[in-house]
Structure 1
């Protein structure tokens, strides 16, 4: 299956350290080689880079590495295709407008038999179950709320809608509108929050960075990913059916999953 990466923080942050370890899983340390994408929120805008080549060897991946874009919210995805051809239109993350905002979504897993009504404003462009799920979620949110709801109302609605979709398969995802980030776990999802005092961190490929050289005492950065990217940090493993809502690097709302991750789908 695919893998997910997200970053939510309280100051514009460069995700290069995490992304470089993550993209190695797309052809070097793992087999998620059916394309990749990464989205950076900048104000109300979004920069999205996608390629149907393996992220580890993609020239576009090198562009992202060298660009060093700083953002409050970033979502990345490396694909191991289960539904849909290996092409750009099927490459995550996907983006839609909701209440005049850019929403970005990436999914890991497979959901079956999702139908999109012909008169629905939100229609999939590609042929993945993931994009269909996102369109279903967006349509249902617009149906429930004519205007943007409060964050608590929104979180509750996303949970409710997602639980229905999750009855049809494996539904790990990361979702953001540039202000906050929501993560749902079905099989594997982990997160870690980095804050003062910052220290040296060892990536899984033994690359090391001393975050104290690049941060202030006020900085707070949360990284969400399918599998932990570092060896000397205490990553929190989410459970099946768990949700977390992050804003400014903080965990604001949480529903703790009641079941252990489903190893059969890993």
Structure 2
């Protein structure tokens, strides 16, 4: 049985937590106490349910199992085997303290050789007599000394080193959360008080983690499947099994999670092994490149085609990002043609073929000068942009076509809004960080499966199934961006992987990605594939 269990998900869960250890079998004994901490409604105020010296078949434990209002994105569960301090509520974890206009939760697996001494001038003082609460109060005092009022403010290296200094006095595996971020420190020895972590990725219809003493059913109350991180001192069996596996955190390392995503993992490094910090050197400026792009498409038919109409968009865009130096478009069958520019600025050729044919070959050859030599330059020189974006009325009018999400049922759009907002809140409403997080998450969490989708597949279906191809991932990203009020548009073209790259075959077929309009920057490309 894990005596320390925690969860962080990208949206609210209403799990059923069954403390089966409160109904022990023959030869087993009841725990000395248990507690559950969570943040109802995503508020910075924490709720803690706990019980010292619980009776067999505890009514409080039954309340936790049945309580439908046990809903939050972050949970901390602790089952106590007392070492220091009497068996009372004051010594039962998790502990809660208010600091920086939010409630903090703290839980500890292990035992120190002796409780920390509390200085006379300490701002935070323990109520009980446990070693855990003394560590918690000392930690909050350290945060106050640095002026850190949230885990996001903390330097992970400094925080890890502080835990390591306490770890020298005994076993120390801890979970600390401020309701937004959740930090996990793994005991430096990594023995009995080590800690394990598993990543949960949708889609899943049912999911629970259980052993003979504890069962946490995430989907019992039919909450949508969401991405999350689960932490336990002893791994629990996933029911049904999930694709990912439990991994043990390196001894002495510090893991920080926010809304189901790992934000940082700071390994333990011996002082003699710490690398010398080097001054950052700006990479040399990349010069524009000239590329020759040749596109071939061949259609073959069993019976002759006597009359057909074709629309070709095979001329590259000519704009501030690239210049078209030459372009030639040829068709193997004679017919009438008309070139024009569509409403998006694309050069289009419309063909009317009235000569019968069984094979049609289309070739486009272009010489293009690439001017976008710094595609990762997303930041403007002005203040950072945050969500929601505020546009001038004329800007919004011009960008209106790129702000309309796909036509989907309201229920599906609402779920996609919640999904999009999980990236926003996880990145403190920063525009660029949110867009980069969305890009990386789709790349990492969605499977590239050819044939799994078609031209009618909607962004919501891709979100639910978590699979597709480049056009699906681009359309999902565009939908999420537009729901956040960020202009986005679909782009089709080619990627150059280099002559010796293993992915060279990908550069021989057209590829889909997207562009997002960034204030004071312009259109910039994002590729979630």
TM-score normalised by length of structure 2: 0.44
Residues 13, 35 of structure 1: CA spacing in aligned structure 2 closer, same or farther, 3 A cutoff? same
How far has the Cα of 1:4 moved from its partner?
Answer: 0.4
Aligned residues: 253
**Higher mean displacement: 148-157 or 172-181:** 148-157
Output one character per residue of 1:224-252: Cα deviation in whole Å (capped at 9) or x when no partner. 11111215341122232122100010111
CA distance in 1, matches of 2:61, 2:109: 20
Output one character per residue of 1:149-206: Cα deviation in whole Å (capped at 9) or x when no partner. 6726343332121111111111011110000101111132112121112255463359
Corresponding position of 1:81: 82
CA distance in 2, matches of 1:150, 1:174: 12
Does residue 142 of structure 1 match 2:156?
no
Output one character per residue of 1:112-169: Cα deviation in whole Å (capped at 9) or x when no partner. 3421101101001001000001111111110121x53672634333212111111111
CA distance in 2, matches of 1:196, 1:230: 17
Corresponding position of 2:24: 28
CA distance in 1, matches of 2:216, 2:6: 20
Does residue 214 of structure 1 match 2:214?
no
Corresponding position of 1:223: 230
CA distance in 2, matches of 1:50, 1:98: 21
CA contact (8 A) 1:82 1:110 kept: yes
Q: Which runs of 5+ in 2 are unaligned?
A: 188-192, 271-529
CA distance in 1, matches of 2:261, 2:78: 22
CA contact (8 A) 2:13 2:218 kept: no
Higher relative contact order, chain-length normalized (CA < 8 Å, sep 6+): 1
CA distance in 2, matches of 1:235, 1:198: 17
SS in 1 for 2:39: strand
CA distance in 2, matches of 1:98, 1:108: 23
CA distance in 1, matches of 2:76, 2:220: 24
Residues 77, 128 of structure 1: CA spacing in aligned structure 2 closer, same or farther, 3 A cutoff? same
CA distance in 2, matches of 1:180, 1:64: 24
**Higher mean displacement: 249-258 or 178-187:** 249-258
Residues 116, 143 of structure 1: CA spacing in aligned structure 2 closer, same or farther, 3 A cutoff? same
Does residue 204 of structure 1 match 2:207?
no
Corresponding position of 2:173: 172
SS in 2 for 1:161: helix
Output one character per residue of 1:211-232: Cα deviation in whole Å (capped at 9) or x when no partner. 5993546x21221111112153
CA distance in 2, matches of 1:127, 1:210: 34
Q: 1:29-108 to 2 correspondence within 5 Å? A: 31=29, 33-42=31-40, 43-54=43-54, 57-68=57-68, 69-108=70-109
**Higher mean displacement: 234-243 or 161-170:** 234-243
CA contact (8 A) 2:151 2:178 kept: no
CA contact (8 A) 1:198 1:215 kept: no
How far has the Cα of 1:9 moved from its partner?
Answer: 0.8
CA distance in 2, matches of 1:190, 1:5: 10
Residues 79, 149 of structure 1: CA spacing in aligned structure 2 closer, same or farther, 3 A cutoff? closer
TM-score normalised by length of structure 1: 0.84
CA distance in 1, matches of 2:215, 2:138: 40
Corresponding position of 1:255: 266
Does residue 241 of structure 1 match 2:242?
no
Corresponding position of 1:264: none
Does residue 5 of structure 1 match 2:1?
no
Q: Which runs of 5+ in 1 are unaligned?
A: 260-266
